[in-house]
DNA sequence: TGACAATAGTGTATGTCATACAGTATATTA
DNA sequence: TAATATACTGTATGACATACACTATTGTCA
């Protein structure tokens, strides 16, 4: 497989992953977390997310009302902690339901294709 | 839940679905299909895709070398059929592997969150 | 038969957000 | 002390879905 095709595959995989970043991030915020900790946690769990992506996402979700945040300056260094608020929990739950539907649909059609 | 929140949820769900359109489309092209037939097939199987999305996607995938196409003018009306070629089949298989990894990771972290 | 609707495909503008990278600030390490 | 790591903010670009407009052909119905 050539270099160009590898790039194409990478690109397609990135697009495949794209929509899952939000739900992945929301899933870790039942307890307050700060940005770099989230990057590490998620990477360890198989959800790759770049800091340049995560921070705007956190700010966006906070702006949309799903997350709340607080600065903690009592530790060795200042960190901004984000966590799901009430609305965020509700929306996250709905996204999880939707995710299961999507997975179910895709699993069905991919397995169907396997049979061919 | 207010109107604005419903819109936000809709938007997030759209983003969640976004990356799955390509793999959904590729899954149906082991046999040649034409655009509007694909829209119907996929909708029936739970993968919503708009014609305005599908046609550019089909053209893009063809340009990238994954799909081949042929006009069939022998039927009642002219239709353009697309189908996976050899490279497309290979790439599709890789995407399926990646999809399973993503699903596995997300299932793990969502179930982990359930336990909280 | 002609007008309109449905089918089928193409194209443009806009919206959304990830990525890439630059930059700032603070704490830690060499 | 200077360099590096940690932590966060901001800008430009890339990718592609959505919304909608438009063209072309065939089917339906008055």
Radius of gyration from C-alpha coordinates of chain B: 17
The CA distance from B16 to B1, in Å, is 20
**For chain A, which residues make up each domain, given as ranges?**
3-114
Report the b/e string of B37-65 with b at 16+ CB within 10 A: ebbebbeebebebeeeebeebbeebbebe
What DSSP assignment string belongs to B55-107? Answer: HHHHHHHHHTTSEEEEEE-SSSS-EEEEEE-HHHHHHHHHHHHHHHHHHHHHH
Query: Looking at residue B81, what is its pLDDT?
Result: 95
Mean pLDDT value of segment B6-11: 89
**Which of A7, A8, A14, A16 should one mutate to test binding to chain B, selecting the residue with the greatest count of B CBs within 10 A?**
A16
Residue A41, pLDDT > 80, answer yes
**What ipTM goes with this model?**
0.87
- CA to C1' distance (Å), from B76 to D28: 15
CATH code given to domain A3-114:
1.10.10.10
Q: Using a 7 Å CB cut-off, which residues contact strand D?
A: A 11-12, 15, 34-37, 51-52, 55-56, 58-59, 77, 79-81; B 14, 17-18, 21-22, 48-53, 56-57, 60, 76-78
pLDDT in tens, B67-112: 999 999 888 889 999 999 999 999 999 999 999 999 999 999 998 7
Query: Looking at residue A70, what is its pLDDT?
Result: 94
**Which of A9, A10, A13, A91 should one mutate to test binding to chain B, selecting the residue with the greatest count of B CBs within 10 A?**
A13
Contact predicate A54/A29, CB 8 Å: no
| Percent residues over pLDDT 90 in chain B | 75
């Amino acid at each position: 497989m050539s270099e160009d095709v590898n790039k194409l595959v990478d690109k397609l995989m990135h697009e495949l992953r794209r929509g899952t970043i939000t739900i992945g991030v929301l899933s870790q915020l039942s307890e307050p977390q700060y940005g770099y900790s989230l990057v590490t946690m998620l990477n360890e769990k198989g959800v790759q997310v770049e800091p340049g992506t995560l921070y705007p996402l956190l700010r966006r979700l906070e702006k949309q009302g799903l997350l709340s945040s607080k600065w903690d300056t009592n530790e060795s260094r200042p960190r901004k902690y984000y966590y799901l608020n009430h609305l965020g929990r509700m929306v996250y739950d709905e996204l999880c339901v939707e995710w299961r539907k999507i997975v179910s649909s895709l699993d069905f059609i991919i397995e169907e294709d396997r049979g061919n």
